Amino acid sequence: MAKSEVLSASLEDYLEAIFHIVSEKQAARAKDIAKRLKVNNSSVTGALRALAEKGFINYAPYDVITLTPRGNELAEEVVRKHEALRDFFVKILYIDPGEAEEAACKMEHAVSRTILDKLILFMEFVESCPRGGENWIKEFWNNCEYVCEYGNKPYKNCERCITRSLDNFKEKKKLMESDLKETLLGELSCGQRGKILKIKGRGGIKKRMAAMGVRPGSIIEVENISPVDNSIEVKVKGYHLTLRDDEASKITVELYP
């Protein structure tokens, strides 16, 4: 795995911009990068030369720009950090999306792989724990924040929160036992999410998933389905992956509501 420390924050921003443009257009041009980052052309030229010298991009003046395998690997890691941080700020801390985007841009360069993995694991825990979920997060902002800010005694609110969580868990457990929606990943529609229950097979997709820390219990989301070959684009552990139809059929998930 390429290490983000080999590049400055500025060059990582350029690499990330190239990654997104290439994802949309298959190749990038200097003017596209300048427009995306809101910088002048001379700044782009200097950054492209530096990235090319380090082996992260294929670049020649007046030609299109593409990522090398090494550059693509590092760009994916930077994008993963950015999206995980943004999701944490928006979904857990309820920060305005615009402010969250700006903060993620600044922080992505300093977050280590270990911290990122634990942050993603925590977000999955909040979503899947019986005492977690959206209601639990709202309870924090409605009660716990007030307690912390004004020094009020938390016991009454905490007792109510725990009781409510236990009641919700009992109801959820009954519903899950009576209507467990277990299906194959390939059966999910765009935008649907599920918790991985099982990954069949010994090689290929199973090894690929294991290398990224994806295992039963991980949350996976379908982002796009190709109308041509039924391959699906998914997001899991902050990674964006494209799976063939036969690979998706080896992954059993529990559908999230």
Domain boundaries, the chain: 1-112, 133-178, 182-255
The pLDDT assigned to 172 comes to 61
pLDDT of residue 1: 43
Give the per-residue pLDDT at 113: 87
Res 45: pLDDT: 94
Chunk the chain into consecutive blocks of 10 residues (it has 257) and report each block's average pLDDT, rounded to whole numbers: 66 95 92 94 94 95 93 93 92 91 93 90 79 65 55 58 63 59 89 90 78 86 90 89 89 85
Buried b (16+ CB within 10 A) or exposed e, 82-99: bbbbbbbbbeeeebeeee
What is the reported pLDDT for 31? 94
pLDDT of residue 158: 65
Per-residue confidence (pLDDT) for residue 5, from 0 to 100: 45
Report the alpha-carbon distance of residue 116 to residue 196 in Å, rounded: 20
CATH of domain 182-255: 2.30.30.90
Q: What's residue 175's pLDDT? A: 57
Q: Is-same-fold flag (1-112; 182-255)?
A: no
* Domain range 1-112, CATH class: mainly alpha
pTM strictly above 0.85:
no
Q: Strands of the chain (E only): list them.
A: 57-58, 66-67, 182-184, 193-199, 219-225, 232-236, 239-243, 251-255
Q: Could you tell me which of 103, 86, 123, 153 has the C-alpha nearest to residue 217? A: 123
Q: Which two tokens stand for residue 140?
A: 């924090």
User: 124 with 214: CB under 8 angstroms?
Assistant: no
